[in-house]
Amino acid sequence: MENQTSHPSGLSSNNDSPGNRPIKIMPLGDSITDGYFVPGGYRIDLQPAMENRGYAIEFVGSLSNGPETLLSQHHEGHSGWRIEEICDRVADWLQTFQPDIILLLIGTNNIAQGHQVETASYCLNQLLDRIFQTAPNVKLFLASIPPMSQPMLNEEVIQYNQKSEKLVKEKQQAGKPIDFVDLYNILNLDDLPDGVHPNREGFRKMAGALEACLSAHLS
């Protein structure tokens, strides 16, 4: 994998109006957020797409990677991490970088490493609660995780994504600023060369789905 550097980026108050500064977006998750086969992942296409729509954005986080053409390279995509590991650290990251928006894609490693769907969904609920306890006004987009080529694992992915969407609806009913983004159904196995991680085309598709959700929110 691409080497990553760790350093802070773009500190300012989460309560500030983004009017005269870039919108701070934290890509949060595992190796798919990092960009396992394609360093920079969906961020490569998402940033120029948003800027073409007239939105200045800045990716924030403690890690950094991507091609030189990706002007904002920060993220919190931690390869191999499960939901509970993200949960243990997320409060510190939110307090440090104070994003306006979080793009959360997590759970693949819980399924791949043999953690049960019920356990993974319970951990996800804890993570969502931790995020909103730390940053009550942050806008959170929770994405479904991509398919897996192994049929038994993919069945667990489907169940996990269904429970994730249900969790989002429950949080919305409780007044939380959260939306669900369907990435599972826009990807196929041709987009996943190892049956788990997207290739360049897969990341393009993901960027398109995220761009649509971000644009709808920001408009």
Measured torsion, CA atoms of residues 130, 134, 138, 143, in degrees rounded to the nearest 10: -20
pLDDT in tens, 111-138: 999 988 999 999 999 999 999 999 999 9
Quote the CA–CA distance of 12 and 72 in Å, as a whole number.
16
Model pTM above 0.85: yes
**Given a cut of 60, is residue 104 above it in pLDDT?**
yes
**Beta bridge partner(s), residue 219:** none
pLDDT at 45: 97
Domains of the chain plus CATH, in order, are 19-218 (3.40.50.1110)
pLDDT at 9: 38
Segment 13-18 shows an average pLDDT of 39
For the CA atoms of the chain, what is the radius of gyration? 16
